[in-house]
Structure 1
Amino acid sequence: MVLGTASHVGKSLLTAAFCRLLAEEGHRVAPFKAQNMALNSFVTSEGGEIGRAQVAQAEASGIEPHVDMNPILLKPMGGVSQVIVNGHPIGVMSAREYYAEKATLWPRVTAAYDRLAGQYERVVLEGAGSPVEINLTEHDLTNLKMARYADAAVILVADIERGGVFAQIIGTWELLEPGDRARVVGFVINKFRGDVTLLDSGLEFVRERTGVPVLGVLPYRPDLQIDQEDSLGIDETATLDRGELGPGELDVAVARVPGLSNFTDFWPLSRVPGVRVRYMERGAHFGRPDLVVLPGTKTTVRDLDWLRRVGLADRIIASRAEEDGPRILGICGGFQMLGRWIEDPLGVESDRERVEGLGLLDTVTRFAATKTRHLVSGQVNGSDLAILGYEIHMGETERNGATIPWLALTRRQNQTTILDGAIDEAGRVSGTYVHGLFDSAPFTASFVNGLRARRKFAPLAEPEWQSHRDFLAARYTNLAEFLRVHLDLAPIWSVLGGPSARSSD
């Protein structure tokens, strides 16, 4: 089990790396995280919703993602969270309401784990936040309670970028109960930059104080990053170089709304040569983008109010009237915002029954009590340009007048066909419910080259394109080698009975 001294120390990445390492050694392996709090989610083939990090870990394991890998997903909604159990929403709860349900939820967590453990030789568990938050320990489903249930050996990860890395390790250790300390086979220090020998005295102190070795120090490697599970990693999905645009470069501006979800939708764009992706939070940050994106959000009405409050709504509307203004794309909640009205008669998201949208598409959205969750494939309407992606939304959008749909889709679970989204007559404003659009190299190539043509830039050459999933597959392989090079794996292999699947039989 991979535990961390805090959030965003690298637990998800290391869990994926160990999944890949075990898979390469011949083990049938699966990831597991009992409870995830994230707005970055995915739809499995059976139509369930789980955290995006567990999807990446499943891919690293070489298997299909399943709801058992993340039996509880909490999606924050501003003071409350939508609670998703075994892939399906069961309600919106405050923290105290959720804690009151934990006695009934724990058996569902253990049942999911037991199904995985019965199917796979190894299960790599991931913790959440810190395992020793004293005020939260009694409510824990994800960290030590799960480690005890699974009788798991534990690796504790600390992030040196935050400072005080030895205090992180020793402090966490001191707050562990003796039985939980006995599970820890080693510590890992993550995100180090510089001469690792400068840490030697500290590493020795940790071993003397705890009796447990530091298995290794992992260098900071942003080039090995995988899909992020929460907004702490959002900046890593933008273009790392924030300097001035160069000749032939496109500027993509994504509204960083408070409830932003599935921000990994834009990571593939940031990898395209000649494309610069940035996040904007004020009208003053608008600039002169080539593409403006209104992303998915769990709180559409609240975030629409935010767009108006910070001046972005006015800038986006005004840019549509400019002849050389940007293309405007709305995804999921962003698509809903682009329309004329958002209706919520059941109070699904707010107590306002009708809210005016930005009016850039002639559409009306009505929120529904049930959530739509599908893997989809299809093409841009009226073309053979293929797309793949997934739907996760709580409303349906109707097109009015002459507004035409943008995409023609087939839902994988039931093979129904639908017309999705909308696009204006000029082709400047479009919206869709499909997440993951830019994972597809053909669609991304066509979309980006269309933006380049508007600026009279030459199209990018075919060898410069790579699908996002192929890109990540190479990273998973590199992650396994990353562990082999930088960690002493002997203590881990010792508790597992050896590195190869044969030696553990």
Structure 2
Amino acid sequence: MVTALCKIFSGMGIKVAPFKVQNMSLNAGVANGGEMAYAQIVQSLAAGIEPSVHMNPILLKPEGGKTHVIVQGKHVGTYDSERYFNAKGESFLEKALESFNILKRSYDLIVIEGAGSPAEINLSGDIANTRFSKLVGAKEILVVDIERGGAFASAVGTLDLVSFNDLIGIIVNKFRGDEKLLKPGFDYIERRFSTKILGTVPFVANSIPEEDSLRTFQRREGKPMVGIVKTPNMANATDFEILERYQGIGFQYITVPELIEKCDIIAIPGSKLTTVDLDYLRNEGYIDILRRTSSERFIVGICGGLQMLGKWVDDVDETGRGKIEGAGLLDITTLLKGRKVVRQVRSRILYPHMRGMIVGGYEIHNGKSVGRPHFSNIISEDGKDTNLMEGSYKSKVIGTYIHGIFDNTSFTQALLNLVRKELGMEPLKLLSVASTNYEIQRFAEVVKKSIDLDYILSAVNNR
């Protein structure tokens, strides 16, 4: 909803920015200032502005019972929940207010997204919802997801439990059916709480990147078939969402190792706990099948996936487990120690079948991998010329640290056509797909028609 509102307000000539105090997600990206949630990067695209870490000052990345904490783009520590809420929450709140005020000096309107539910009465240290809106004097809108069921119970319970700062009204989202069926419930809410219903937004199928890390892809038949190995600590599932927009390509999550042999391309995604996921792949039988069939299909490892495909990973910093044997499909070794790499990159591919191709993306990873041959030569880092090597390859096995590589149509098309050639199929020319911006615009138009925008703007301006 914040994405749509940013698009709508931007289209009206309002200088608008998104903001989320605290986001818990394993889908992260790189922006001005460091690492931030990918959702706020998408929202900044909707607003027509460059993303900044101040739009998401606190990013929480689950990490094996603890939380990897990013504040204003930088990693500040890994905490259990009790220590975070009791000892660190208040100091991080100050940073969030600092970021908000930085944005406030540059933008006319800031659209703040809450986190989870505002009625988390079990969390006395919650800084992401009504407490923050009160601190900054924000107008509030309660958005109810009706697709999940229990929408009216959720709305009534929230209104009963929460002391809002200045509630404008309620938007019901993702409705399927006849809106007239909702009227008795709306009447009850308006009568009991004197709270206006601002509109009902219908369910709209779209391919706007998801906020949650473990998105569920619906299996789609096609050739080549791309299988994405679903590991317990999978991160940056957004790397693969672009595949849904291309017609003719099959894709599915691989949840049991036997499915590997039904796929033409295997993708090993990033991971928040590389050696834990590596053990999972070994114990569940994935590595045995990958080793046995690596000459029969292409395997692409991204970030943690690259690390797992090597000879071993020496985990000093993530879990302290030491050296763990890898899949052994690439001639590299990885040391998880030292500073975290966070950067936007442009790189020239060295893999023979794509040599010279320029791709763009970003890196977010711990540790360093060494070994040859390199997959690509980084020529630009955060907009500055550089000359670095990354990744590796061996026959049909490719590993890279570059997130977003499948968003480069030239790379995706070349990989798919390598497979199609082996399958005896004609080369495929990927048509330009609907951009994320187009998908946002399409959804924003639906939202604009569905809500009382004039009332919202009047309430916001009447401060």
TM over 0.5: yes
Matched, 1:338 2:300: no
- Measure the CA separation in 1 of the matches of 2:147 and 2:328: 44
Question: In 2, are the aligned partners of 1:288 and 1:326 still within 8 Å (CA)?
Answer: no
Matched, 1:210 2:193: yes
- Measure the CA separation in 1 of the matches of 2:414 and 2:26: 28
Q: Please report how far the alpha carbon of residue 349 of structure 1 lies from its aligned counterpart in structure 2 after TM superposition.
A: 1.4
Q: Please report how far the alpha carbon of residue 413 of structure 1 lies from its aligned counterpart in structure 2 after TM superposition.
A: 5.0
Per-residue CA deviations over 1:71-123 (Å, capped at 9, x if unaligned) read 11111111001111110101111111212112221211100000001110000
Residue aligning to 1:129? 116
Please give the secondary structure, in 2, of the residue aligned with 1:461.
coil
Which AA in structure 1 matches 2:314?
A: E
Please give the secondary structure, in 2, of the residue aligned with 1:134.
coil
- Measure the CA separation in 2 of the matches of 1:83 and 1:91: 6
User: Which of these residues, 265, 268, 272, is aligned with residue 294 of structure 1?
Assistant: 268
User: Which of these residues, 320, 325, 345, is aligned with residue 294 of structure 2?
Assistant: 320
Residue aligning to 1:306? 280
Question: Residues 45, 114 of structure 1: CA spacing in aligned structure 2 closer, same or farther, 3 A cutoff?
Answer: closer
User: Which of these residues, 180, 183, 194, is aligned with residue 197 of structure 1?
Assistant: 180
Matched, 1:28 2:15: yes
Matched, 1:351 2:338: no
Q: Please report how far the alpha carbon of residue 301 of structure 1 lies from its aligned counterpart in structure 2 after TM superposition.
A: 0.5
Matched, 1:406 2:375: yes
Which AA in structure 2 matches 1:429?
A: V
Question: In 1, are the aligned partners of 2:342 and 2:364 still within 8 Å (CA)?
Answer: yes
- Measure the CA separation in 1 of the matches of 2:338 and 2:375: 25
- Measure the CA separation in 2 of the matches of 1:482 and 1:327: 40
- Measure the CA separation in 2 of the matches of 1:35 and 1:301: 27
Say which is worse superposed, 114-123 or 183-192, in terms of deviation.
183-192
- Measure the CA separation in 1 of the matches of 2:4 and 2:234: 27
- Measure the CA separation in 2 of the matches of 1:435 and 1:164: 37
For residues 75-114 of structure 1, the aligned pairs below 5 Å read 75-99=61-85, 100-114=87-101
Does 1 or 2 have the higher relative contact order (CA < 8 Å, sep 6+)? Answer: 1
- Measure the CA separation in 2 of the matches of 1:265 and 1:413: 21
Q: Please report how far the alpha carbon of residue 414 of structure 1 lies from its aligned counterpart in structure 2 after TM superposition.
A: 4.5
Question: In 2, are the aligned partners of 1:35 and 1:71 still within 8 Å (CA)?
Answer: yes
Please give the secondary structure, in 2, of the residue aligned with 1:39.
coil
In the comparison of the two structures, how many residue pairs are matched? 458
Q: Please report how far the alpha carbon of residue 285 of structure 1 lies from its aligned counterpart in structure 2 after TM superposition.
A: 3.2
**Identity level (%):** 36
Which AA in structure 1 matches 2:193?
A: T
Say which is worse superposed, 142-151 or 477-486, in terms of deviation.
477-486
Q: Please report how far the alpha carbon of residue 351 of structure 1 lies from its aligned counterpart in structure 2 after TM superposition.
A: 2.8
User: Which of these residues, 229, 254, 258, is aligned with residue 232 of structure 2?
Assistant: 258
Which AA in structure 2 matches 1:44?
A: A
| Structure 2, gaps ≥5 residues long | none
- Measure the CA separation in 1 of the matches of 2:79 and 2:393: 36
Which AA in structure 1 matches 2:361?
A: G
Residue aligning to 2:343? 374
Question: In 2, are the aligned partners of 1:377 and 1:387 still within 8 Å (CA)?
Answer: yes
- Measure the CA separation in 2 of the matches of 1:261 and 1:101: 25
- Measure the CA separation in 1 of the matches of 2:375 and 2:95: 40
- Measure the CA separation in 2 of the matches of 1:53 and 1:118: 22
Question: In 2, are the aligned partners of 1:155 and 1:185 still within 8 Å (CA)?
Answer: yes
Q: Please report how far the alpha carbon of residue 69 of structure 1 lies from its aligned counterpart in structure 2 after TM superposition.
A: 0.5
Matched, 1:384 2:356: yes
- Measure the CA separation in 2 of the matches of 1:285 and 1:447: 20
- Measure the CA separation in 2 of the matches of 1:441 and 1:155: 39
Residue aligning to 1:419? 389
Using the size of structure 1 for normalisation, the TM-score is 0.88
Say which is worse superposed, 300-309 or 482-491, in terms of deviation.
482-491
Q: Please report how far the alpha carbon of residue 22 of structure 1 lies from its aligned counterpart in structure 2 after TM superposition.
A: 0.6
Please give the secondary structure, in 2, of the residue aligned with 1:21.
helix
Using the size of structure 2 for normalisation, the TM-score is 0.95
Residue aligning to 1:157? 143
Residue aligning to 2:26? 39
Matched, 1:186 2:158: no
- Measure the CA separation in 2 of the matches of 1:452 and 1:190: 41
Please give the secondary structure, in 2, of the residue aligned with 1:442.
helix
Please give the secondary structure, in 2, of the residue aligned with 1:286.
helix
Residue aligning to 1:8? none
Question: In 2, are the aligned partners of 1:186 and 1:491 still within 8 Å (CA)?
Answer: no
Please give the secondary structure, in 2, of the residue aligned with 1:377.
strand
Per-residue CA deviations over 1:243-275 (Å, capped at 9, x if unaligned) read 6x35xx221111111111110100112221211
- Measure the CA separation in 2 of the matches of 1:266 and 1:366: 26
Per-residue CA deviations over 1:186-224 (Å, capped at 9, x if unaligned) read 11111111222222211212211211122222111122x
Structure 1 residue ranges (4+ consecutive) displaced by more than 4 angstroms after TM superposition: none
Please give the secondary structure, in 2, of the residue aligned with 1:56.
helix
